[in-house]
């Protein structure tokens, strides 16, 4: 069965939706069996408020730029259609879930259940305690190219996080173990990679000792040679 997951990131006007901060951008990347499928979702939203300079310095999204963008409610249905019922992966996921659910509440929609939340920050802290766990630091740790990340951007950050998530969950070779299960009789065997290997016939060992005819032919050949080395070594 294929496992579908969505990696996503948001950009906002601040850090607290309860105090009036709004989501202004979302980027989503679809994974199936931990591989990007190429399907993505990206949208900007008019927050119906001004953009604080501190937030604009982080993501570069100005009040003027967002003024002609749709409201979240105008794009809500297509976003929900894209994410479906898949698990949702984010870095510091409580932050992104908080804003996503706040926007859904503005539209009178049910929140996304927190049981669907997978937090790569929690995963990174568990696997690499004592290290830096920012997205930039994890990209450096796993060799993920982040040269295009001049400012925060929801879709770019989701694309980077998708690569980091794959590394956190086993790396690019996930699911490609070459160890097959123990063979039983002549039955076909399923490997860890999911393919089926055909039963292999066991050939008898090949004989390596010379036959009597071969030994006799060798002796006759040596007898025709003048001072053969084999005779001196006593192997003729």
Catalytic site positions: 152
Tokens of 191: 């490997």
Task: Please report the beta strands in 46-122, taking only residues with DSSP state E, as ranges in sequence order.
Answer: 88-90, 117-119
Distance CA 190, CA 7 (A): 31
Distance CA 57, CA 220 (A): 94
In 3-state terms, what secondary structure has residue 30?
strand
Other beta carbons within 10 angstroms of residue 71's beta carbon come to 15
Cα Rg of the chain, angstroms:
32
Dihedral sign for Cα atoms in the order 134, 137, 141, 143 = positive
CA 13, chain centre distance (Å): 29
């Amino acid at each position: 069965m294929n496992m579908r997951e969505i990696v996503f990131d948001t950009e906002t006007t601040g850090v607290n939706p309860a105090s009036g901060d709004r989501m202004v951008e979302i980027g989503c990347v679809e994974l199936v069996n931990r591989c990007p499928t190429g399907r993505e979702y990206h949208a900007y939203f008019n927050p119906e408020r001004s953009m604080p300079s501190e937030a604009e310095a982080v993501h570069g999204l100005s009040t003027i730029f967002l003024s002609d963008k749709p409201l979240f409610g105008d794009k809500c249905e297509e976003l929900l259609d894209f994410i479906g019922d898949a698990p949702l992966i984010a870095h510091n996921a409580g932050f992104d879930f908080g804003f996503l659910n706040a926007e859904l509440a503005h539209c009178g929609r049910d929140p996304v259940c927190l049981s669907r939340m997978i937090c790569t920050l929690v995963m990174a802290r568990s696997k690499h305690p004592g290290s830096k766990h920012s997205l930039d630091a994890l990209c450096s740790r796993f060799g993920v190219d982040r040269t295009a990340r001049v400012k925060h951007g929801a879709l770019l950050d989701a694309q980077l996080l998708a690569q980091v998530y794959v590394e956190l969950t086993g790396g690019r070779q996930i699911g490609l173990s070459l160890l097959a299960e123990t063979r039983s009789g002549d039955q076909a065997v399923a490997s860890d990679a999911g393919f089926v290997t055909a039963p292999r016939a066991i050939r008898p060992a090949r004989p390596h000792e010379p036959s009597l005819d071969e030994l006799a032919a060798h002796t006759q050949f040596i007898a025709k040679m003048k001072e053969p080395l084999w005779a001196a070594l006593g192997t003729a």
